[in-house]
Structure 1
């Protein structure tokens, strides 16, 4: 018995040890201490700006930082530091680096000078590529800006800088560089004018220009994004029928298993159901329709933090319909996927209404 117990303890210790290593290791200390550590070790710094309500920060923790290639590179080559943008030093540092959304992951030199950033959630493979590029000084904002300064009429240089500004939420006149791309290569010989037209139409929130670009350049690198953007424009009206049609056409062209489309479509369906949840004039029948929309949504968000969000919305719709059992079951699923305060509050809310019915 003693031997079995000892073996069990050893196995548990091994599992704990493995779990602590199988992740990006974040250093402790103040920002000044992190800068000093980076200088001593001659390494760059990765600053992960998060908040306690940011679900995509959680997704980054769960699916990116646990990727073996990501954590092996990050732990070997840089100082990793996580900061809550709303607590302690966080607000001042977020202002210093112009952080506008979360997650924002800023890479800096050891003196704190920014190299570049990753804005929003990126899957592990893309995150790793971007991180390695920044270590090499490739495709950074500074390098792309210099390329335009060296060759101001180069279509590729202008487009790449504009794309960087937009994708990373940086300050800069992306439209100027996009117009330069188009004017310097109207025939699309270099292959960037089509992408520039898509991106410019998106920035101008011009549905007709996006649709025209899709007809003119159906095989463009930005065509898939155009469908997603058009769907977003329609959803904002709200015209969920047209938004749904955009995704169906995109799935036909890019495949049912496209990760970006599945994530976007799941978000669209959640948005439709959420609108019903928040509508004080919605009827029980409308809420049942919204629940059906969420059932349709679940396969598209399965395994992500959005699955927890879908169950949360479903829980509230059931609660509004006085189906306490289903409301309870759904919020339990949310908590199982992602245990956070708003879900716990929903659980408590259901309990109170059950006792007062």
Structure 2
């Protein structure tokens, strides 16, 4: 891919799809288009080799999980793990079907993976909101509602989970992205005063100032 060649559409499509922000960039991509690993910057052969081996190892582990899942299609833990990997690879559509099976077969969260899975799904949908707002408001609203629903599941269902306070923070940020500044400020103010997790509290304080600035300029 030549980043300077603006006449070739694949350049921009690849950059956007795989989040390339600096060059040179090396992408390790699965046969179905999932991003296994992305590395930016010049690499010597000595530096490149272990990175390549790591990417191959990740793909091998994931392939084994998929094979195992074929034998045990209702295994909640495997479905959740596969869904999380697809989310990491920016393959949300594939992640959704496995997520639904994980939720169906683990209603009591015995795998301890569901709160994080809901948060990851919420973040994935939240990331689509801003992009869609520029082109399709109906699509943006759909992604927004899905993101909110996943965060609210964590907030309402898993109050003792480590994912509980992050879910509130992500929800506040998602409200801000959508322009729901009043809801965003209310959520972030609550976290900035009451969050037990220091990182969540500090992030909420910083984001709160940004959201207030955005609200005052609109």
* CA positional deviation for 1:207: 3.4
* CA positional deviation for 1:231: 0.2
Structure 2 residue 172 is the aligned partner of structure 1 residue 231: yes
Task: Give deviations 1:171-217, integer Å, cap 9, x for gaps.
Answer: 53222111100111222222223434445566452636633431321
Among 161, 172, 177, the alignment partner of 2:98 is 177
TM-score by length of 2: 0.58
Alignment of 1:1-357 (within 5 A): 84=3, 87-88=4-5, 92-93=10-11, 95=13, 99=17, 101-103=19-21, 107-108=27-28, 116-118=36-38, 133-134=54-55, 136-137=57-58, 142=63, 144-170=65-91, 172-199=93-120, 203=125, 204-205=145-146, 207=148, 210-236=151-177, 238-251=179-192, 252-256=194-198, 258=199, 262-263=202-203, 266-267=206-207, 269-274=209-214, 276-277=216-217, 279=218
Take 1:262 and 1:158, find their aligned partners in 2: how far apart are those partners?
Answer: 34
TM-score by length of 1: 0.39
The number of aligned residues is: 179
Take 2:158 and 2:70, find their aligned partners in 1: how far apart are those partners?
Answer: 29
DSSP-derived class of the 2:74 partner: coil
Aligned Cα root-mean-square deviation (Å): 4.1
Take 2:215 and 2:163, find their aligned partners in 1: how far apart are those partners?
Answer: 29
* CA positional deviation for 1:114: 7.2
DSSP-derived class of the 2:37 partner: strand
Does the aligned pair in 1 maintain the 2:65–2:78 contact within 8 Å?
Answer: yes
- Give structure 2 stretches of 5+ with no counterpart: 40-50, 126-144
* CA positional deviation for 1:151: 3.4
Does the aligned pair in 1 maintain the 2:79–2:99 contact within 8 Å?
Answer: yes
Does the aligned pair in 1 maintain the 2:189–2:204 contact within 8 Å?
Answer: no
Give the number of the structure whose alpha-carbon radius of gyration is greater.
1
User: Cα gap change, 1:233/1:164 in structure 2, threshold over 3 Å: closer, same or farther?
Assistant: same
Take 1:150 and 1:249, find their aligned partners in 2: how far apart are those partners?
Answer: 46
Take 1:211 and 1:168, find their aligned partners in 2: how far apart are those partners?
Answer: 24
